[in-house]
Amino acid sequence: MQSLFFHLRCLVIGCALLESSVASHADSCVIFHKRAPVRAVCGKIINELGERPDGVKLTLATASGSALFTAKTDHRGRFAFGPVPKGDYTLRATAPSYLSEQRPIRVTRDRDNACEAMIEVKLGTSSCGGGIYVKGFDKKYDPD
């Protein structure tokens, strides 16, 4: 009986060490620091499996953090903000059961712009499972 408790305790300690090891490497994920230039703020949402999750809310906020614009995905996982004035923003995507994603972007054209799917938001359940990628700016962007 005492041997069983010893093994169980070792298992618990091993799991705790493994989890802390993974958490310490969470900073090695790709984090974008440059503002990605976009002409219009639109794109698609997918999860780690390539599915289009429901209930995704997107916001565009200024540098001060105040949300100026909001959008939701349609049934195909696509989103588009209306005309957005030129400037620097932070794009945030949140959905139930996923970690939120955010990315600094720079809108380079003013007002009415034709919207092409330029931005891909990948929602993940782990710190490295998601991200926001901009077509033509990020080298690893792989649109389907």
Using 50, 70 and 90 to split pLDDT, how confident is the model at 10? very low
Q: Are residues 41 and 111 in the same domain?
A: yes
Q: Are residues 61 and 113 in the same domain?
A: yes
CA 104/CA 37 separation, integer angstroms: 9
Q: Residue 34: helix, strand or coil by DSSP?
A: coil
pLDDT, the chain, mean: 78
pLDDT over 90, % of the chain: 40
Q: What pLDDT sits at residue 18?
A: 41
Q: Are residues 77 and 114 in the same domain?
A: yes
Q: Are residues 83 and 12 in the same domain?
A: no
Q: Which domain holds residue 124?
A: 31-134
Q: Are residues 43 and 75 in the same domain?
A: yes
CA-nearest of 98, 122, 127, 99 to 25 is 127
CA 91/CA 132 separation, integer angstroms: 9
**54 pLDDT more than 60:** yes
In a domain, 141, yes or no: no
Q: Are residues 14 and 61 in the same domain?
A: no
Alpha carbons within 13 angstroms on the beta-carbon side of residue 55 total: 5
In a domain, 129, yes or no: yes
Q: What pLDDT sits at residue 58?
A: 95
Q: What is the pTM of this model?
A: 0.73
- What pLDDT, in 10s, does the model give residues 57-100? 999 998 787 778 999 999 889 999 988 888 899 999 999 999 99
In a domain, 81, yes or no: yes
